[in-house]
Structures are given as C-alpha cells and as structure tokens.
Amino acid sequence: MRRLLGLLAGAILVVIGFPACESAPARLVGAGDIASCTLTGDSATAEVVEGIAGTVVTFGDNVYPDGTSGQFASCYGPTWGRHDGRVRPAPGNHDYRTAGASGYFGYFGDRAGPSGVGYYFYDVGSWRVFSLNSEANIAAGADFVRRNAGGKRCIAAYWHRPLVSSGPHGNSPSMLPLWQAVYDVGGDVVLNGHDHTYERFAELGRDGAPRVGGMREIIVGTGGAGLYSHTTVKAGSQVRSAEAYGVISVDLRTDGYSWRFHPVDGETFSDSGSGSCD
C-alpha cells in the first residue's frame, strides 16, 4: 500500500538533482560527524573512503565546532576534502552554528543542492537517493520527497538527526515528517549521524516502532569526531558500537541493498547485512 501511495505522490515531478559520477558503481559510502582540527579520526576515515569506490555521502556535522568557512578550509578540506569530486553531503546542527550554514553551502556549492535549501535528490543505479535537511526546511523537505519519488522501486535517504537512537541524543521526534515522507513513497533505508556511534536498527514502521517490511535505519556518526557511548537501548536496535571510527558502504542492487561497516586501521568491529526493496 505504501508503495502505491508513493507512486501517486510522485506523479508530479520537480527535477532538481545531481547525477552520481558516471564511473562510480551503484554504491554509497560515507559517515557523519566528521572533521575537527583537534582530532585525527577524520584523517583515518578519509583513508578508508579512499579505498572504496562509489558516491561519497555525509550525514551532517561535516566540520567542528561551528561549520565556518575557515574550518571547512582548514579542517575538512585536508582530510575528506580529497573526495570532493564525488561527494553528496547533508548538513547537521554544527554546520548551522554558522548562520544559514553559509560555510557548508559555500564550501560544497552545487554538490549540496540549491544554496540555503539543504535538500536534493539524485539517482545511483536504479535507486533514487534523497539528501535531506534535519536543521531547517523540514516540512518543505518532506513535501519535496513526496513530489520527487519518481516512481522508483528502490529509495534511500540520509540526513543528520536519527528518528530513533540509543545514543545520548536519543530519539528526535521532530524528524517524523521526513521519516514518514520517505516511508510513504516506499523508502527502504535511511542513514543518519548526530550520535557519534554506530547503530543498526531492524526495519521500523511509519511511527518508528519495529515492523517487518518497514524501513531500516542505520546511524553512522563515526566519521572522526569524538565517539559517544550508548545509553538507553531503543526497541529495534540490533547492532551497536561506540568504540570504532569508520564508514559505511551501501551497495544498491536492482532488487535490494547490502551494507558493510568498514572500521579504520587497528579496529576490528564490523557489521554487514542485506535488505530488499519492498
């Protein structure tokens, strides 16, 4: 039923998006909560990304502490900046510590979608992928998803704040409009950051509670900023790590997807699995 509703919602299209690099495989690779000039985790995760082909995605809080133009140039640029030619970012709350996230939009330019908006879509293989804004324009972003599903069978999305999290930030009910919009158009997997941990959930329903046949959420706030600990374990949480920096790769097939967490050198934690397009 939610697939049918999604097809109807996508009948009127507004074509705003950016194609993935033609040479890239049907794969997303990335993390959130990335760069700081006072830490070295982002250098290590940038090296991991270097060895994985695909479209590079960020799940917000690209640079600490304030997302200024100078911090992007001095802290993000020397590490993850090497991937700028294939990056498709999303903003986070630290990016918005600079008014209007002007440092973020100024650094990424067209790769971040229309300036000041913070949401856009593109296609990777047979998948439609949405980068969304958890910090501003939430209702407009949800409407954008509903209008631009494009009748795709397989849909992924990413933004900064997770709907459900066992980390110290906990759940973010304000994200429900984005979650429900992606869910209603037949979304399959959502990637987030914000809590500096790795956490993979079972499929969740429209309300964020566990539901077979729902939409999977994976938190990957392990891009380089200081790691957190998990606090209250939430329903549906299946795998958690608060010890390892790393990135996730998500391979996008015509009938489903598979994921793998890639830790930095010296760490052993990993996670992998697969899901189908409903």
pLDDT for the residue numbered 17: 45
Q: How far apart are CA 177 and CA 167, in angstroms?
A: 21
For 143-185, the pLDDT digits (tens) are: 999 999 999 999 999 999 999 999 999 999 999 999 999 999 9
Neighbours of 114 (CB within 10 A): 11
* Token duo for residue 12: 């009127």
pLDDT of residue 278: 73
* pLDDT of the residue at 24: 60
Rounded to whole angstroms, the Cα distance separating 108 from 104 reads: 6
pLDDT (0 to 100) of residue 133: 98
pLDDT band at 120 (very low <50, low <70, confident <90, very high): very high
Can you give the pLDDT at residue 78? 98
- Catalogue all structural domains in the chain, each as residue range(s) with its CATH number: 2-276 (3.60.21.10)
Say what the pLDDT of residue 166 is: 98
* Total length of the chain: 278
Q: Please give the mean pLDDT across all residues of the chain.
A: 92
236 contacts 202 by C-beta, under 8 angstroms: yes
Whether pLDDT at 257 is above 90 = yes
Which residues have CB under 8 Å from 2's CB, separation 6+?
183, 184, 185, 186, 206, 278
pLDDT of residue 228: 96
Mean pLDDT for 88-102 is 98
| Residue 182 near residue 190, CB atoms below 8 Å | yes
> Residues 116-127: what's their mean pLDDT?
97
Q: What is the mean pLDDT of residues 38-51?
A: 97
